Amino acid sequence: MPSQVPEIEISGIPSDAYLLDVREPVEWAAGHVESAVHIPMNSVPQRLDEIPADGEIYVICKSGGRSAQVTAYLQQNGRQATNVAGGMLAWATAGKPMVSDSGETPHVY
């Protein structure tokens, strides 16, 4: 993995961004960005063709570690990818909207 992957703060993510959430299903179910696409980290290689080859991809996980690894992988496979600094914890701290699969109050798991 490259020593530096591009990162963006929550405040810099465009409203129409392609946001790829790479957390596990239980984490996604607890709380996620409504417009995000969910592909767990370990499924990304098998599902690479589902991820756009053109345009910027913003990759998010809980705190930024897994998403940094996926960002590097996507770049190695010709995608324009940027890691979301601080992940869903930063998203929640910033007060950005989230939804849960259960309809209960969303939270970061």
| 6 neighbors 69 (Cβ within 8 angstroms) | no
Q: Residue 83 carries which side chain, given as an amino acid letter?
A: N
| 88 neighbors 10 (Cβ within 8 angstroms) | no
**Which of the residues 20, 60, 61, 70 is marked catalytic?**
61
Is 61 an active-site residue?
yes
Residues with a catalytic annotation lie at 61
